[in-house]
């Protein structure tokens, strides 16, 4: 019985270690940024030995990529309010709330830090933001089905149009990002879709 039970226990412990190390990685990113992040500090914060970290992650880069992917996979709820304007507004609000949280800002900063020179981080960023957009595409498909948007609306392009002004404020103009930013982004995306500017192909 012990020989059956042990691997299961080991998997359970492995998951706990994984979650603790991910949380510690994000916390270190929040506090110190990517450049100052070390496996030693992550291990200490997670309460595990650094060899435990190195057993699971080859290096600092794969640790960060894995923690970021895990964080972004779980973050944005996909609304279904029955109307495209309220769906887009909710989606924009969720994005604003996620991206303005300390962890969201640290994740974004890490993706754009000198770490972005590493192909693994650049790939992860592309993949992660792609996934986030793809998960929200049903919102647009439902709006097209309800006849609220032109049938040739490109869901991915529309969602990028929604996200772009939020990221612009966060990263470039450094203006406040709040619910009114979300309202504006939703109105802009809707005007673009209705104006036929986000068509497929």
Half-sphere exposure of 157 (CA within 13 A, CB side): 11
Provide the β-strand partners of residue 199.
Answer: 153
Contact 132, 126 (CB under 8 A): no
Residue 113 C-beta: closest distance to a copy of itself, Å: 5
Q: Which residues inside 123-152 make contact with a copy of itself, applying CB under 8 A?
A: 125-126, 129-130, 133
- Comparing CB distances to a copy of itself, the nearer of 97 and 127 is 127
The one among 10, 11, 73, 171 contacting a copy of itself by CB under 8 A: 171
The label of the residue with tokens 């068509």 reads: 199
Give the separation between CA 62 and CA 58, rounded to whole angstroms.
6
Q: Which residues inside 66-85 make contact with a copy of itself, applying CB under 8 A?
A: none
Residues 32-61, mask of contacts with a copy of itself (x by CB under 8 A): -xxxx-------------------------
- Hey, CA dihedral for 108, 48, 61, 65, is it positive or negative? negative
Give, as one character, the DSSP assignment of residue 44. Answer: H
Residue 139 C-beta: closest distance to a copy of itself, Å: 18
H/E run at residue 185:
helix 179-194
Instruction: Give yes or no for residue 168 binding a copy of itself (CB under 8 A).
Output: yes
Instruction: Give yes or no for residue 117 binding a copy of itself (CB under 8 A).
Output: yes
For 99, residues 6+ apart whose C-beta sits below 8 A from its C-beta are 105, 108, 166, 167, 170, 177
- Comparing CB distances to a copy of itself, the nearer of 48 and 68 is 68
Q: Which positions touch a copy of itself (CB under 8 A)?
A: 33-36, 109, 112-114, 116-117, 122, 125-126, 129-130, 133, 160-161, 163-165, 167-168, 171-174, 184, 187-188, 191-192, 194-198
């Amino acid at each position: 019985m012990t020989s059956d039970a042990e691997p299961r226990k080991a998997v359970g412990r492995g998951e706990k270690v994984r979650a603790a190390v991910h949380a510690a990685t994000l916390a270190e990113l929040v506090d110190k940024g990517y450049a100052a992040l070390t496996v030693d500090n992550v291990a200490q914060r997670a309460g595990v030995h650094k060899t435990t970290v190195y057993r699971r992650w080859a290096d600092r880069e794969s640790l960060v990529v894995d923690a970021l992917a895990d964080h972004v996979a779980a973050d944005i709820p996909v609304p279904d309010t029955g109307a495209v304007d309220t769906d887009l507004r909710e989606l924009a609000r969720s994005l604003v709330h996620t991206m303005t949280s300390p962890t969201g800002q640290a994740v974004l900063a890490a993706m754009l830090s000198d770490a972005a020179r590493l192909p693994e981080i650049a790939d992860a960023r592309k993949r992660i933001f792609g996934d986030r957009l793809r998960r929200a595409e049903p919102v647009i498909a439902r709006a097209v089905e309800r006849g609220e948007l032109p049938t040739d609306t490109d869901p991915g392009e529309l969602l990028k149009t929604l996200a772009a002004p939020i990221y612009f404020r966060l990263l470039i103009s450094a203006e406040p990002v709040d619910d009114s930013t979300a309202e504006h982004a939703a109105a802009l995306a809707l005007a673009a879709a209705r104006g036929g500017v986000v068509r497929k192909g």
